[in-house]
């Protein structure tokens, strides 16, 4: 991968300058001024970390550098958040491997070569430069991605609010009425008579007229008998099924040799004549 190739180039550049400075200067000697009154060359061997942290703990620092290099390799194998983030991590990895190489092959000491002339600052090397620049690049890239992601999320939320307005303002509450609202709208109706709003089967409620005198159906006609007529006059002629003839009740009384049928029960007469109750 290109990021590991970039790290390898940093290690090669760092080791080349360290080899050149060890062959040119003795420890403590001052060399040329690369930038007048700003940056010059020297030779120094540091048995600690940057700013002489953990001085004398060379092999502890070597172990820490080895673990850090492994972690950076694992991150780079999975990291895909952009070019500048990958470049920054690769620079940190290259600088870490450059100083680790010194500790392994130079008795635990790191060769430094650059000194600042305008301020009193610790001497550093090319690996330190790439570690610092790589960390700053990755940090800026990470902050930019976080800011951009948060801004995009806010834009998406605003767009979603515009595309999907507040449904509570447009909901038709009459579609799912509350039982209390129905009872309050119809105070004359008991809650027990109300339909089950969520029942799968239809419910029917008997409608009660608001005024007792008003009814949905017309009253049924009442039959009042006429005292001047006999109840026998209302009967229709009876068909004789056996003889296929028709005769009235008066004829039936004559047939049975009776003066009048008013003294007899009509059912007894029909039963005597041969008809049962169903006929």
β-strand pairing of 39-46 with 30-35 = antiparallel
Contact assessment for residue 11 and residue 17, using Cβ atoms and an 8 Å cutoff: no
By 3-state DSSP, what share of the chain in percent is helix, strand and coil, each rounded to 5? 50, 10, 40
CB-CB contact of 118 with 38 (8 Å): yes
- CA 43, 46, 52, 53 torsion-angle sign: positive
Is 178 among the catalytic positions? no
Residue 14 annotated to the active site: no
What is the Cα–Cα distance from 176 to 167, expressed in whole angstroms?
15
How many Å apart are CA 3 and CA 73, to the nearest integer?
A: 10
Write down the catalytic residue from 37, 47, 102, 128. 128
Q: How far apart are CA 3 and CA 22, in angstroms?
A: 29
**Of 14, 112, 166, 250, which one is the catalytic site residue?**
112
Helix, strand, or coil here: 57?
coil
CA dist., res. 233 & res. 212, Å (int): 39
CB 126 within 8 A of CB 65: no
Q: Is the dihedral of CA 135, 139, 142, 144 positive or negative?
A: negative
Catalytic machinery residues: 112, 128
């Amino acid at each position: 991968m290109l990021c590991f190739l970039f790290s390898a180039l940093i290690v090669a550049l760092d080791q080349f300058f360290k080899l050149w400075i060890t062959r040119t200067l003795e420890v403590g000697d001052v060399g040329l001024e690369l930038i007048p009154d700003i940056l010059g060359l020297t030779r120094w061997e540091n048995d600690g970390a940057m700013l002489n942290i953990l001085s004398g703990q060379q092999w502890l620092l070597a172990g820490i550098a080895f673990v850090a290099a492994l972690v950076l390799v694992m991150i780079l194998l999975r990291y895909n958040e952009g070019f500048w983030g990958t470049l920054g991590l690769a620079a940190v990895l290259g600088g870490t491997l450059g100083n680790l190489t010194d500790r392994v092959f130079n008795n635990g000491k790191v060769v430094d070569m650059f000194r600042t002339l305008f301020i009193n600052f610790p001497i550093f090397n090319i690996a330190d430069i790439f570690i610092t620049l790589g960390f700053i690049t990755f940090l800026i890239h990470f902050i930019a991605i976080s800011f951009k992601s948060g801004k995009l999320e806010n834009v998406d939320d605003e767009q979603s609010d515009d595309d999907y307005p507040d449904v509570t303002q447009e909901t038709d509450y009459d579609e799912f009425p509350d039982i209390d609202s129905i009872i309050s709208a119809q105070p004359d109706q008991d809650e027990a008579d109300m339909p089950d709003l969520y029942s799968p089967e239809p419910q029917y409620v008997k409608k009660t007229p608001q005024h007792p005198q008003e009814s949905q159906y017309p009253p049924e006609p009442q039959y009042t008998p006429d005292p001047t007529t006999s109840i026998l006059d209302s009967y229709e002629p009876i068909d004789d099924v056996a003889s296929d003839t028709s005769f009235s009740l008066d004829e039936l009384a004559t047939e049975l040799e009776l003066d009048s049928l008013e003294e007899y029960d009509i059912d007894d007469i029909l039963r005597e004549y041969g008809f049962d109750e169903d006929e």
